[in-house]
A and B are shown apart, each in its own frame.
Chain A
Amino acid sequence: MSGIILPGADGALYPRDRAWHPPANTPGYKSTTFRAPKHALLSLGGTASELTGPTFGHSSINPLDNDLIRNFSQDGSEAIGQRLIVYGQVLDENARAVPNTLVEFWQANAGGRYRHKKEAYLAPLDPNFGGCGRALTDENGFYSFRTVKPGAYPWPNGGNDWRPAHIHFSVFGHAFAQRLITQMYFEGDPMIWQCPIVGSIADKSAIDQLIARLDRHNTTPMDALAYRFDIVLRGRRSTMFENKLEGN
């Protein structure tokens, strides 16, 4: 039998609620106009091809991979900006922890400048900040990293659009159909509610799920503030009978 199905999670995935996710075409975010399919998506129940996915061992991760303050340092100096610990738990829709899964993140520097050749914003690069990192979740689904708070930055969409401070996230889960890319925002940022990319999501409670909470309890005194951002991946129906492969 091809396709490895994890113990206790061998049913079909719950269907994606595509009214909760942003639709493909959201005119306020202009780039979607020519990049949104017009045909309906074809529903596919899920075969071994979708219910399996790549996994990553701890040997593929280096100790500095989750320390954006130091992982691009040129001379031992640290990145400039408001020092943060960002952490959270990766769960599935059944509220079960997702252990040993790869979480990747990328962001602009404290001034809102990305280290990318297509980026021409006049805010300067920080020579000690690259902007990328990754972590594997532990046995309870927790990840964490150290970084500086990214700045807001302007982008050519409307005449005067600015992205709120945000960190991009990529999460794998254990099935290729769980693959997710999203963005994390910061509690209390008034720019969240003015952004056409945030506004591609219709439901305010869905947007709220993208807003990390200031966590004073896990803040390191005299060093770094902490923000908590939990991530929920698609869950699987349980299998009721051992000899019945379909979900119930």
Chain B
Amino acid sequence: MLHPVPTLKETPSQTAGPYVHIGLTPNFAEIRGVYATDPGSTMLTPDTKGERITIAGRIFDGSGAPVNDALVELWQADGDGSYVPPMGPSSNAAPAFTGWGRQPTNGEGVFSFATIKPGPVPGPDGKLMAPHVNLWIVARGINIGLQTRLYFEDEAEANGTDFVLNKIMDPRRRQTLIARREEGDPVRYMLEIHLQGDKETVFFDM
């Protein structure tokens, strides 16, 4: 039997530009009254189960300057390692946890999500992947969205056997995906993301 082949070409990407906030976080862009809240601004509900944490990052360009006009989206499993099931078209029941968030970077290039720590998800090798969140970064000067993952410093054993981390040949580059644990209430996990240069973050073609 022949392998199926795609019949159409994917629409090519273009940069999100410097005014991405108008469309994706209009209230942050001070466009009030169109949407009640910015999409993805809140991931948690009072019914969300799991350990409350903050996931934060700071994005730098190749000259070391903070990227202060980026938009970051986060997609993660819940505390049990399950991704939120798709909503039906007529669904009015909001899930207890959205799994998806969207945040702009501030003047220092910092973004931050109030979320829960994800559980481990099965990988293609049948073993559990280490807890992680998926990040997608768009901005002026980024022609196609950058996809990466954030792992947790305090999951060293799971990180050591993770399917994706072990695909990174240079072990030093694996460290670019591992967020530092900062004590507090809630605990904050902080990742430095470098778009370019000696400390360049690993980005994926997925």
Contacts and interface: CB of A to CB of B under 8 A. Distances in A.
B140 A31 contact: yes
A36 B19 contact: no
Given A29-B143, A248-B3, A49 B11 contact: no
Interface in B148-205: 149, 163-164, 167-168, 173, 195-197, 200-205
A23 interface: yes
Give the contact-size bracket for chain A: 35 or more
A20 B206 contact: no
A158 interface: no
Contacts of A179: 73, 136, 145
B29 interface: yes
A62 B10 CA distance: 29
Interface in A90-149: 91-95, 99-100, 104-106, 114-119, 130-134, 136, 139
> DSSP class of B's interface residues: helix, strand, loop or mixed?
loop
Nearest to A163: B17
B145 A176 contact: no
Nearest to B167: A42
Contact of A233 (B11, B141, B202): B11
Contact of A238 (B4, B16, B69): B4
B134 A49 contact: yes
B11 A106 contact: no
A43 B124 CA distance: 14
A50 B77 CA distance: 11
B102 to A, nearest CB: 9
A24 B142 contact: yes
A134 B25 CA distance: 12
Contact of B86 (A1, A6, A32): A6
Contacts of B77: 2, 49
Contact of A206 (B9, B85, B200): B9
Interface in A9-42: 13-18, 20-24, 26, 29, 31-39, 41-42
Contact of A32 (B18, B24, B143): B143
B26 interface: yes
A21 B22 contact: no
B87 A56 contact: yes
A44 B83 contact: no
Give the residue among B23, B29, B167 with the most A Cβ atoms within 10 A: B23
B96 interface: no
B30 A117 contact: yes
A44 B167 contact: yes
A53 interface: yes
Contacts of A52: 75, 83
Contacts of B196: 34-38
Given A94-B6, A170-B24, A180 B11 contact: yes
A57 interface: yes
Contacts of A41: 203-205
Interface in B1-49: 1, 3-4, 6-24, 26, 29-31, 33-35, 39
Given A1-B122, A114-B22, A182 B100 contact: no
19 contacts: A2-B82, A15-B205, A16-B10, A21-B13, A21-B143, A34-B61, A39-B202, A44-B167, A44-B204, A47-B163, A49-B121, A55-B87, A95-B8, A130-B34, A133-B23, A176-B136, A181-B13, A200-B143, A207-B12
Instruction: List the 5 closest pairs (A to B, CB-CB), nearest first.
Output: A106-B23, A31-B141, A93-B6, A54-B100, A35-B141
Interface of B: 1, 3-4, 6-24, 26, 29-31, 33-35, 39, 61-63, 65, 67, 69, 73, 75, 77, 81-92, 94, 98-100, 121-124, 129, 132, 134, 136, 138-147, 149, 163-164, 167-168, 173, 195-197, 200-206
Interface of A: 1-4, 6, 13-18, 20-24, 26, 29, 31-39, 41-50, 52-60, 62, 64-65, 71-72, 91-95, 99-100, 104-106, 114-119, 130-134, 136, 139, 168, 170, 174, 176-177, 179-183, 197-198, 200-201, 205-207, 209-210, 231-235, 237-238, 240, 248
